[in-house]
Amino acid sequence: METDPVETQKLWDEQTPGVLRLPSGRLVRGRGLRRPLAPGAPSPSYGLYLLGKRPPAVPWDFRWVRWPDFRLPADRADARAALTEAWGRAARERVEIACGGGRGRTGTALACLAVLDGVPAEEAVAYVRAHYDRRAVETWWQRRYVPGFATG
């Protein structure tokens, strides 16, 4: 993926903790909201927050998907639209995907982004576990959600 040097300044540093490189070169940061940002850590330009209740306000653009802990999104069409938007924005912005702990819901969402990016659905969870967090995508139904996301 070629990017303008000025645009590159807006993207994540691949060495930043939690940053996942997708096959296209897009970089997305996964994070657990229960852990505060490290002092001096870059802020996202866009956040997608996967929580059971509305998150507190942040100084950057964000979207909330109602997604209770250890479960699946309450509205799958809304989740698909939000994940597709986040994937598109990741080509030109610092996108953060986050839930409470940064593993289950965040890992599931990152696996869905990997599918959007061309990773076969049956390999997406393994991809995220290998490149983001080995314990990502915590529950059986979260693992099953990814192939279902791929088909629509």
Q: What is the pLDDT of residue 150?
A: 83
Distance CA 26, CA 19 (A): 10
Q: What is the pLDDT of residue 38?
A: 81
92 backbone dihedrals φ, ψ, rounded to 5°: -135, 0
Q: What is the DSSP letter of 135?
A: T
Q: Is the pTM of this model over 0.85?
A: yes
Question: In the chain, what are the domain boundaries?
Answer: 19-151
Q: What is the pLDDT of residue 9?
A: 54
Has domain 19-151 been given CATH number 3.90.190.10?
Answer: yes
Q: Is 150 helix (H, G, I), strand (E, B) or coil?
A: helix
Along the 152 residues of the chain, how does pLDDT read in single tens digits? 444 433 445 899 998 889 999 999 999 999 999 988 888 889 999 999 999 999 999 999 999 999 999 899 999 999 999 999 999 999 999 999 999 999 999 999 999 999 999 999 999 999 999 999 999 999 999 999 999 998 87
Distance CA 114, CA 143 (A): 13
Q: What is the pLDDT of residue 7?
A: 44
DSSP string, 59-87: SSEEEEEE--TTS--S-HHHHHHHHHHHH
Q: Is 97 helix (H, G, I), strand (E, B) or coil?
A: strand
Amino acid making up residue 92: R
Q: What is the pLDDT of residue 4?
A: 41
Alpha-carbon dihedral angle through residues 27, 136, 31, 69, given to the nearest 10 degrees: 130
